[in-house]
Structure 1
Amino acid sequence: MRDKPPAEPPSSEVTPEKTYLRRRELLKNAGLFAGTAVAVAGGLHLLGRKQTRPMERFVPDAGLVEQPVAQAMGPFDTDEPRTPYEDVTTYNNFYEFGFDKNDPARFAHTLKPKPWSVVIDGEVHKPRTVDVEQLTSWFSLEERVYRMRCVEAWSMVIPWLGFPLAALLQRVEPTSHAKYVAFTTLLDPEQMPGQRRALLDWPYTEGLRLDEAMNPLTLLATGLYGRQLPNQNGAPLRLVAPWKYGFKGIKSIVRISLTREEPMTTWRLSAPREYGFYANVNPSVPHPRWSQASERRIGDFERRPTLPFNGYAEQVAHLYTGMDLRRFY
């Protein structure tokens, strides 16, 4: 799927990537932030909070976040070079706005991410409908620098802003019957003109097993590169599960439902022989039409080997003990 703001900031206002990275390094070297720890309680893995330092309170209309953001490198961050902001926001899949990689950047200005509410329901003790601004105010935003591997065999490294999905699920208190988490994208052809075409069964839906959703890697992102999430990247709220192929990262979420049964997902419905529910990055399992053994990092000329679970095996491989990973394409 694909994702740009109503009017992308001019290049003169975008902080150069080298300057951004240099600032992070200076902050880290100055010891302004404490490290993080991983806490495990009752089988539920939760990230230890990064110590935060409030950033300048930028005006939201300028595209920058208001909440304090943790900037120290966390235990799951990668130190690989970041994909430049302009590439992240102009090369992606978001079929609600067109089929070409630059269509979301060209056409997503029709999306209106404010006001925006999210329904949280299903197998929870405290279902609710909440405005996304209130939702994000419940949590301190964290920066997570993750690899992103598209099923099409290209990849990026993106500094996301967001909060652990586990923190939200804990707040609504899943029932003992909850086994899965289903996500739904906005359905509105006026705002998402690509939905007028019958390419997929709209609205876009995705899902995770509950323990995957509770894994500390799993993020609900509200921004990237220190800015609010651009429309073309899934504003105002999207899922990030970095050990899975990118199509699992559902964008512009309006509903999060906890279910007893495995939810049907859009790509499984559209092409069940090509896109499975788990969609874990697995270089040894080819797509029916191409190899997944290597990838092209956007901005690079040469291909590189793809890592099992996109390099996050240490954090997530235990979730699939005893399961035949060859079946989880």
Structure 2
Amino acid sequence: MAYADPEAGRAADRERFRKRTAARVAQGLCPRCGERPPAPERSLCGPCNDKRNAASRARDARLRAEGKPRRDPVREREYERERSRREAEARRAAGLCTRCGRQPAALGRSSCEPCLEKRRAADRARYAAGKAAGLPYGGANADAKRRAGRAKSRRRQKARKDAGLCIRCGKRPPVEGGTTCTPCRQKRQAAEQRNYAARRAAGCCTRCGEPVFEGLSRCRPCALADDAGRSPERKNARSRQRYAERRARGLCTACGAPSQGASRCPTCAEKSYHGSGYFRGIPVWDPRWTVIELDTGKEHGPFDSAADVALCLAFEKLDRDRVEVLSDASPMASLTAWG
């Protein structure tokens, strides 16, 4: 039957085909021909299966010869993912290995022991090949491996902390008020001191290893991060303790250099003075004057006082309106005055 609207015709044909297929399936017949029952574990009968397979092979050969994919890659991936999910769920519900579907899964795992061992062997081989090629984490996704490692470390530390053990070795109880035992703490402090000394000698930030300027121990981002996360009470207590220790040893309380009994060495004292309220910025120096003739551009001077400028004008017989007097007075001279 012809339809004026092609879309309506296609919709009617689809509905008719659906009803016919449902009726044949309900009768136990092949939904394609409706003449024979379907083959075992198949939805079509044997002849219809053969016809469809032959047509599929011919279509695949034609597309392969034309250099085209057999199916839409996007739809094929979606279909395969959905099929794999259904298959894995069915095998998991039956208590079978989700990979091979033949043996029961290992205790607490979704795969059987042979499949797990195969996967471990493949992972080891892939890791060895990546490591030989110089790739981090054997060529695996570095971010994913780091995230997994951090998550595993957090779980391990939480379990050890709940058990009242050192979070590093898990063998001895931690010190009072801490999370690590004495040997682990000493090892960590020794390693941190070696790392600090090496980076300090190389002129790098002692926290991240980036280059620093003017002999500082930390770069600006690390210094800001440390200051933001540091307790003011602990910082002040440590500063007072360090001040007392250096003062007792006759060292500079700022840098630790010998200061001959003074609280600061000359360099640190100068820095402290410049940063104090007594330092007013640009110093005030004695001004000097230069006389320039506007007609000829000739310069006279420089002179150390205004009286010398007046003598120059009188001696050279210059009119004050025909010359320009320049002064290099300090900018701070106009901001200061005697009371």
Fold conserved between structures, TM > 0.5: no
Q: Of Structure 1 and Structure 2, which has the larger fraction of its residues in strand?
A: 1
TM-score (norm 1): 0.18
Q: Which structure ranks higher in relative contact order (CA pairs < 8 Å, sequence separation ≥ 6)?
A: 1
